[in-house]
């Protein structure tokens, strides 16, 4: 039957007018909309990519499931940074060509279709909905996925999307909340899909004057992370019916490398990997080597954590001065605020007059809100803060 049609408001062309207005201001456009990294790719990653440029995995066909080196790096990262021994919980892993591809094809690779229902938060990353629609399944949105009574009795539920830290809100789910979702999903035979792509950008204990998350050595990792759905305490020691998604796009500035992975239920991963092999959904060989290096480079992840913390704190302060009820997110890379006018598009117009272009909340299911991205360089963030304060 092919891909089913999709219908979603996630259309960046809607920002064209606001971008043009912003470009005509004295500072030009200050783009805080798309969450695209701008900082350097770690030297370790660049060296690994160059070294692998003419290795066997470059001129030959690379493995769909990843090289032994990459799989080892993922297993080590999961154990050290997320507290998960994948062998102990029966988890498999498959690399994906970025996280968006994995999200968009998730429902299809699970074999979902007409009559099947996928649960997701009302306010969330738009590709969850698009991926479900493409598979021909139905989307059911709830205010709080952790409120399992809001979805556990709905007929036909086959999967539940979790996003912690959330894009766009920055909300982090506790281990107890995750455990409740996993237990309820298992009761009805549904798969839990946990998007944890921002897990290492955890701000719950961070402050301007406390650098307690400082890495102690190049081979250690003291940065806190948000709770993982594959933690033994959450999944009761078994990955059955649970999938976790992670990406290096933000922690290592590797969005252009398209490096991500799905970890979880070994049987589901094996099934997905077979389809992925036939579809050619394979990370290029040299990029697999670069991905392994990125997972091992603790110091670079910590440096990026510090950059984003500074930018987020700066934005929160300036937005509050302008009049927004802005707060440091619990996790992730965005400041999420209610529109001063009550309508994201009216606020978009006012901000464009200052040269600032955030994301409209309508894209994420909340037309009364705005998302400001910290994935701009320091100079751009400083320009935005200055413009907000001068207009206050």
What confidence tens digit (pLDDT) does each residue in 187-226 have? 999 999 999 999 999 998 754 434 433 333 334 445 678 9
CA distance 268 to 241: 8
pLDDT tens for 100-156 read 999 999 999 999 999 999 999 999 999 999 999 999 999 999 999 999 999 999 999
Confidence of residue 8 (pLDDT cuts 50, 70, 90): confident
CA distance 97 to 94: 10
Domains and their CATH numbers in the chain = 12-40+300-391 (3.90.1150.10), 56-297 (3.40.640.10)
pLDDT attached to residue 205: 74
Give the residue, 55 or 325, on which the prediction is more confident. Answer: 325
pLDDT attached to residue 5: 83
Longest CA–CA separation in the chain, Å: 59
Question: What's this model's pTM, rounded to 2 decimal places?
Answer: 0.93
What are the angstrom distances between the C-alpha of 236 and each of 100, 191, 239? 28, 15, 8
Query: Which contacts of 59-65 are long-range, i.e. CB under 8 A and separated by 24 or more positions?
Result: 60/285, 61/282, 62/282, 62/283, 62/284, 62/285, 62/288, 63/282, 63/288, 64/94, 64/273, 64/276, 64/277, 64/281, 64/282, 65/93, 65/94, 65/95, 65/273
Q: Indicate if the pLDDT at residue 333 is higher than 70.
A: yes
Give the residue, 337 or 224, on which the prediction is more confident. Answer: 337
Q: Indicate if the pLDDT at residue 69 is higher than 90.
A: yes
- What per-residue string of b and e applies to 2-21 under the rule 16 or more CB within 10 Å gives b? eeeebeeeeeeeebeebbeb
């Amino acid at each position: 039957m092919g891909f089913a049609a999709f219908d979603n408001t996630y259309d960046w062309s809607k920002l064209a007018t606001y971008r043009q207005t912003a470009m005509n201001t004295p500072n030009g456009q200050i783009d805080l909309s798309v969450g695209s990294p701008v900082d350097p790719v770690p030297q370790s990653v660049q060296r690994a990519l160059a070294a692998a440029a003419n290795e066997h995995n470059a001129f030959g066909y690379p493995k769909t499931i990843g090289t032994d080196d990459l799989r080892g790096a993922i297993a080590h990262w999961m154990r050290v940074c997320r507290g998960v021994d994948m062998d102990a919980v029966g988890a498999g892993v498959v690399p994906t060509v970025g996280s968006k591809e994995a999200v968009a094809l998730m429902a299809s690779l699970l074999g979902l279709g007409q009559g099947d229902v996928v649960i997701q938060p009302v306010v969330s990353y738009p590709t969850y909905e698009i991926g479900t629609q493409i598979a021909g399944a139905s989307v059911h949105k709830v205010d709080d996925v952790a409120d399992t009574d809001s979805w556990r009795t709905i007929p036909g539920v086959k999967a539940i999307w979790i996003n912690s830290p959330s894009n766009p809100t920055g909300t982090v789910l506790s281990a107890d909340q995750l455990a409740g979702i996993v237990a309820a999903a298992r009761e009805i035979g549904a798969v839990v899909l946990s998007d944890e792509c921002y897990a290492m950008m955890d701000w719950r204990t961070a402050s301007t004057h406390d650098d307690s998350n400082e890495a102690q050595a190049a081979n250690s990792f003291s940065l806190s992370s948000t709770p993982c759905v594959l933690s033994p305490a959450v999944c009761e020691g078994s990955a059955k019916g649970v999938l976790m998604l992670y990406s290096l796009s933000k922690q290592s500035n590797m969005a252009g490398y398209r490096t991500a992975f799905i970890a979880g239920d070994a049987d589901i991963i094996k099934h997905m990997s077979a389809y992925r092999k036939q579809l050619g959904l394979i990370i290029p060989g040299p990029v697999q080597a670069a991905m392994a290096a990125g997972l091992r480079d603790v110091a670079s992840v910590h440096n990026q954590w510090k950059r984003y913390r500074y930018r987020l704190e700066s934005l929160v302060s300036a937005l509050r001065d302008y009049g927004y009820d802005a707060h440091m997110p619990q996790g992730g890379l965005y400041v999420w605020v209610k529109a001063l006018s009550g309508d994201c598009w009216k606020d978009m117009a006012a901000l464009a007059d200052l040269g600032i272009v955030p994301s409209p909340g309508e894209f994420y299911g909340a037309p009364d809100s705005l998302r400001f991205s910290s994935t701009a360089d320091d100079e751009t963030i400083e320009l935005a803060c200055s413009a907000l304060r001068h207009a206050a």
